[in-house]
Every structure is written in C-alpha cells, then in structure tokens.
Chain A
Amino acid sequence: MCLATIARVLEVNREKGTAWVDFGGVRREARIDLLPDVRVGEYVLIHTGFIIERVDEETAKEILSAWDEVFRLEKEAVGGYYYPGD
C-alpha cells in the first residue's frame, strides 16, 4: 500500500492542483496537494496518484559516497552522515 514510485515532473498546473509526471516513459497526471511548491524538472515520489515528496538526487549521491566511507573508515564515517539533525 505504501509503495511509491519515482517520477520526473514535466508540467505543473497549480490552478487545477495537478502535474504531469513521467515514470520513465509512462506519463500520468498526479495531484500536487501534498507538495504545492513542486517545480518542473524535479524528481518526486508518487503514492496513489499524489506527489508525496521530492527526491533529493544530491542527497542520494551523498549517501552512496558515505557508504564507501563506511567500508573504509567504519564508525567515524557512519556517525558523520547518518544521524538525523547533524
């Protein structure tokens, strides 16, 4: 039920409260009520036809490089990235 899929925003219609999004080839209309300031070009997560959050591509890449750190430096590196609020 809580499955969400990544899509890219193609077009936003704020008046209507919807956006056209692209799931790697498949286009659909999605509601923007939960992310009203969504912008064209952003990657977002869609759950049951609603955009629920933007996916932060930079953070995704940061985490991957942090994983490398985990393997190399063990705990110090882990502490550096994974705790919330740091």
Chain B
Amino acid sequence: MESIVGPYRDREIARKLVEKIREEAKLIDEIRIMHVCGTHEDTITRSGIRSLLPENVKVVSGPGCPVCITPVEDIVKMMEIVRNAREEGEEIILTTFGDMYKIPTPGGSFADLRGEGYDVRIVYSIFDSYKIARENPDKTVVHFSPGFETTTAPAAGMLNVVAQEGIENFKIYSVHRLTPQGIEVLVKQKSRIDALIDAGHVSTIIGVKGWEFLSERYGIPQVIAGFEPNDVLMAILLLVRMYREGDSRVVNEYRRAVKYEGNVVAQKLIDNFFEVVDAKWRALGVFPGTGLEVRKEWKELEIRTHYNPKVPRLPDLEKGCLCGAVLRGLAMPTDCPHFGKTCTPRHPVGPCMVSYEGTCQIFYKYGALF
C-alpha cells in the first residue's frame, strides 16, 4: 500500500512541481482555481500548499461539504418527525454521520434531540443503520442521509438490499446533492471559476464523463485529482498550463481510482432509487436540478412519505457568519469576525466549523496562518 501512496507525498517531487507552477504562472495574469471537496481542502491546508503558490495562483474552496449545505429546514423537519412519531406511539431510531449530528440550526441539532431523550445514533456507514434495523424489528430506523455522489451510491446500494429483503422498518431521509450540477449553478450565478479541481471520489462514481459538460458549456479546464499533496500540486500545474493555452478539457490525474465511465453499477443503483429535483443548499439558495429524492416507486423507503410535518422557513446562519461566502469561494475563514473567537470546533457558530470537511474547521485545526 505504501508503494502506491508514498511517492505522492515525496518532498522532492513536490518541490519540482512547485517550481513548474511558478514558471508557468509567470505567463498568466491570474487564475482562480476552485476545488469542491473537503478532503482536498484538508490536503491543501495540512500541506500548506497555498503558501507555496505564487500570488497569482489562487486556490479557493467551493461547496464541497455536504453537511454544511444541508438545509436547516430538513434537519428541523427530521427532528419533528422523530417527535411526532413518538406522539403517535412509534419509536424512531435516528441514525446519521458524526459531523451531521452536531450541525447547529435555530431549532437545535440532532445532538440536542438526543438530549431530549430520543434515540439518536452516530453511524460510520448506512450499513450500520441497516444492521440496527434488523436488530430492532419493533422500531423504525431512519437514516438521515446527506452526501454527494460518493455517499449516495452506498445509500442506493443499501436501499436495494432493503427492497429485496422486504425490510419494512428501515427508511431514509434523503438530502443527497449532485456535485457538478451544483457547480454549474455557481457558474451561472457568475461566480468566477477559471479552473476546477474535481473531487476524486465523486469522480470514482460519476467518472470523467460526469464532469465533461462543464468544460463543453463553460470552457472550464478541469483536473480530477487524488488526495495526496503531489496529486493536488500536479492538478494545479496542469490547470495553470491548460488555462494559459485555452485548453478546456477534463484531465484525469487520479487514474488509479477513476475510470472514464465511472462506477457503472453504482450509477445504475442511484438512478434506480433516486430522481433529480430542485434543492436548497444551505446559505446558497435553491439550486435547480441538484437534489436527489427517493423515486415515487420506492416512496415507502422515504420517511417523509409517512410523516411530513410543516416546518417554517428558518434563517440559515447566525448573524455575521460567513459560511455562505466561504462555500462560494468568495471569503476565506479568516475573513469572518466569528472565526477562532466566538466560533471554534467546540462551540461552532456555523456549519463550516462543525464538519471535519468544513473549510473553517480545517483552517482552525491546522492553524492556517499563511
């Protein structure tokens, strides 16, 4: 395993890549490269990549944190469902991922719901939720299911098993989102994106072909990159060069895990269980054609078919929180008056500080004082 990963962290290779980027950057005015993955932000910040780049090569973070963009209304509605079910004599075990558990809303978090005495459990996998459902046939297990294509695929795989086995006490609440389609909305809204580092594991599912429309329609050069420091440096080098040459294609740097056609089995499962709908992205607004809902023919598997309480429109963020601008790549966490003062991972004000994929938490964790 080390033989695969080791050289992608090699210092000498990194030094050469940075040198090449500097040479290449002398030939352009400025480039704004957006990435759309919390794990890329982690690599970039942890390895201090921004500090190595020339000033005219800017790398900004996009909305690559699914729990950060999950609407407050959905979190609050999920909590209402759990309460309503109990009133009607049905016990729900709510499962979700660790970072979703703590996301703050004006109506509290799932952690607060647990504090009220409801059964809320953190799981590592939707497979764990399925196992809980098998072990608790007298209760309904609802998995609150956020995530981009990488996480939607496991959800679809699990729904397939549940449908085949005819399990009746397992449901999901889908807040899945589509990554390239979300970026397209940002582009249409005139966010300046000169080039894109495409999320590696989203690409594992959707393939190179899933990104091509962004290059074809908007002339944006893209590189699908892995998650080691040299993967990201290589992506930046290629993007600066492509930008200079006016070459807008999708280049696959992460070939060790991404195929042109992607994971076709996963795509078929997603398509079988989910359909595309307009969806809100927290702090960003409603993005047409970017959400995934459980298809009507499988509506029994979606908890909102059984309980769908009305939830008022709620403010997305606390006053002064810049999470929205951070998610659009318009602000850095350090621009926010709350950052590191009133807002820390222990007492987060906004969602970008909660998730380990949130740009604010990553900046805080690695002390990005560059």
Cα of A43 to Cα of B3 in the assembled complex, Å: 12
- Our pick among B39, B251, B253 for the contact of A3 (Cβ within 8 Å) is B39
Cα of A77 to Cα of B64 in the assembled complex, Å: 32
Q: Does chain A have a CB within 8 A of B4?
A: yes
Cα of A85 to Cα of B261 in the assembled complex, Å: 10
Cα of A67 to Cα of B249 in the assembled complex, Å: 19
Interface size, B (range): 35 or more
- Our pick among A4, A62, A67, A84 for the contact of B150 (Cβ within 8 Å) is A4
Cα of A53 to Cα of B204 in the assembled complex, Å: 7
Cα of A53 to Cα of B226 in the assembled complex, Å: 14
Min CB gap B258→A, angstroms: 8
- List residues of chain B with CB within 8 A of the CB of A35: 263, 265
- List residues of chain A with CB within 8 A of the CB of B201: 2-4, 45, 47, 52
Cα of A78 to Cα of B97 in the assembled complex, Å: 40
Q: Does chain A have a CB within 8 A of B306?
A: no
Asked if B126 and A84 make an inter-chain contact with CB atoms under 8 angstroms apart, the answer reads no
Asked if B153 and A34 make an inter-chain contact with CB atoms under 8 angstroms apart, the answer reads yes
Q: Does chain B have a CB within 8 A of A40?
A: no
Q: Does chain A have a CB within 8 A of B160?
A: yes
Q: Does chain B have a CB within 8 A of A6?
A: yes
Asked if B125 and A49 make an inter-chain contact with CB atoms under 8 angstroms apart, the answer reads yes
- List residues of chain B with CB within 8 A of the CB of A4: 150, 201, 204, 257
Which of A24, A48, A57 has the most B CB atoms < 10 Å from its CB? Answer: A48
Given A34-B153, A50-B125: A6 in contact with B1 (beta carbons within 8 A): yes
Given A1-B38, A48-B124, A49-B127: A60 in contact with B249 (beta carbons within 8 A): no
Asked if A71 and B16 make an inter-chain contact with CB atoms under 8 angstroms apart, the answer reads yes
B 125-162 to A, binary, CB cutoff 8 A, 1 in contact else 0: 11110000000000000000011101101100110110
- List residues of chain A with CB within 8 A of the CB of B309: none
- List residues of chain B with CB within 8 A of the CB of A2: 37-39, 64, 147-148, 150-151, 199-202, 357
Q: Does chain A have a CB within 8 A of B232?
A: no
> How many A-B pairs fall under 8 Å by CB?
147
Min CB gap B305→A, angstroms: 23
Q: Which B residues, 240 to 266, have Cβ-Cβ distances below 8 Å to chain A?
A: 241, 249-253, 255-260, 263, 265-266
Q: Which A residues, 27 to 86, have Cβ-Cβ distances below 8 Å to chain B?
A: 31, 33-36, 43, 45, 47-50, 52-53, 55-57, 59-64, 67, 70-71, 75, 78, 82-85
- Our pick among B230, B238, B255, B357 for the contact of A56 (Cβ within 8 Å) is B255
Cα of A44 to Cα of B205 in the assembled complex, Å: 14
- List residues of chain B with CB within 8 A of the CB of A3: 39, 201, 357
- Our pick among A8, A49, A60 for the contact of B126 (Cβ within 8 Å) is A49
- List residues of chain A with CB within 8 A of the CB of B183: none
Cα of A64 to Cα of B146 in the assembled complex, Å: 35
A-B contact pairs, 11 of them (CB 8 A): A8-B1, A17-B161, A33-B265, A45-B257, A48-B151, A53-B259, A56-B256, A61-B4, A63-B256, A71-B20, A85-B208
Which A positions have Cβ atoms within 8 angstroms of B? 1-4, 6, 8, 17, 24, 31, 33-36, 43, 45, 47-50, 52-53, 55-57, 59-64, 67, 70-71, 75, 78, 82-85
Which B positions have Cβ atoms within 8 angstroms of A? 1, 3-5, 7-8, 13, 16, 20, 37-39, 64-67, 97, 99, 124-128, 146-148, 150-151, 153-154, 157-158, 160-161, 199-202, 204-205, 208, 230, 234, 238, 241, 249-253, 255-260, 263, 265-266, 269, 355, 357
Please list the 10 inter-chain residue pairs (A to B) with the smallest Cβ-Cβ separation, ordered nearest first: A49-B125, A33-B157, A50-B154, A60-B256, A2-B150, A2-B201, A84-B208, A34-B266, A49-B127, A48-B125
Beyond the given A47-B150, A52-B205, A84-B252, could you list 14 further A-B residue pairs with CB under 8 A, ordered by the A residue number?
A: A2-B64, A2-B151, A6-B1, A6-B4, A31-B157, A33-B157, A34-B157, A45-B204, A48-B154, A52-B201, A56-B255, A61-B4, A82-B238, A84-B250
